[in-house]
Structure 1
Amino acid sequence: MTETLITILHFIGTIIATLFTIIGKIWLDKKQHKNKAYSQNIATKLDDDLFSIYQNNLETILYKNIIYIETENFPLKENEVSLKRLTNILAEIASTILSDQVLYSYLDENFINSLYTLIASIDNISIKPTKKEMKTINDNYQIFSNIYFSRLNQVRKGLSLSTRGLIYRDMLHLYKNKSQKRFHIAYHTKSFVLYTLYLLIIVVWLPILIVSIWQYIQNLINLIEEIHPYISSNQ
């Protein structure tokens, strides 16, 4: 009974450790890609032909809440942008990318896919979009904004410029939350959760690694002890 319980606990522990390892690898790969800088040549091309061009329109409305308005004079909050304005900007960006094969080749698959997924979600809405359709657009826009912002910082690193961060987002109200306070709570909560997960991965995975290494050493020692008499007898 005891051996069975130990086997079950060992099996569960292995599964948990494997899951944490997989999640950790995904998170570390994402973090590594986020912190990676483009080479100077690629960064210059992307900056000159994309990011600099849209610095004063798309870059200043990233992460904001997209809303549908029927009249042009409808008052918008600081962290809101009209669907019509976003649609026009996205059409220009798509045209810019498609007309330049070199630019297109420098942009990664995640960037291209997130852009066209967002455009497709806008193209497929009703004449007067429903709440569900607007939610889909906003969800896709948050994904695209995150990728765009990440690539922008990779370009800036490649050009030896300081990266955009929380202060920049505060200044331009680049968030979908109802207030700046809620944005900060959500931002720091996400960071806390990610680092807690990272710590858990270390706490769970490291002991298993140490035990595995120790078992390997013991097995190696046992193997040497077993073959030592045969080696001695042949000398």
Structure 2
Amino acid sequence: MAFLIIVGVIVGVIVLVGILLGVSDYQRNKEIKQKQITEDEEIKDKIVKGFSEIMKAYNITEMPENADIVYSCGLKGADACVWKQNNHIYICTEIDSLCQKIIDNHIFRRNVRNCETDSLLEKRYNEIMYGLKPIIININEVKFYKVDGEILTRTEMSGGEVIGGGTSIGGAVVGGLLAGDVGAIIGSRKKIVSEPIRTNTINDDKRVVNVYIETDDMVKVFQYEYPFFEVFQKYMPEKSFDYISINKSLC
């Protein structure tokens, strides 16, 4: 009887310790998560303030409400805002989507082992700030813009595997019982199953928009992702290479 009581006490202690450890881990994970949320908010506030200072340096008080959004073409895969003002095209990273990308990808988050040093985090922050400088295109300096590259199409094939056709001992036994030796040979053949062949067409878009700008008697080429082509067509259609070529041929 005493032995059972001792065993019961030991089991109870083990269960209690397990519960306490579980509660401790839960509390620890909760504190880590809360700390990460706090750090994310601090980084977000810091980036928003830094972005505001950069915009002021370029005399941009706010982005127009009717600015075009070019998705996933800004800094770190964030969206980009594009608008035209005084014969200039402005391209800026959309700050809210950038902050969300930074939080989602843990760009500034310290890991559990605290391997991220303050100097590395500061370096990353400075890189973000440098990348937030707006791109300003003076339309008067644009000679033309054109699309280069193409959509590459490739076909991937899968399937076509043939399964079966070997010897089945179970099938041989059953076949032999039903029809003797011949039945054993026939029954030993496994059913052949062939997996259907599947084809998948993949489009790899390699198109880019090259903008040729002439400044100081030099022509420089600036490359943009293809989605910018639509807004360039909207804001400076007369600078399109095709438009210029057609008008030259008509003259």
Decide: shared fold, TM above 0.5: no
Greater Cα radius of gyration, structure 1 or 2: 2
More helix by share: 1
TM (norm. structure 2) is: 0.24
More strand by share: 2
- Taking CA–CA contacts closer than 8 Å with sequence separation of 6 or more, which of the two structures ends up with the larger relative contact order? 1
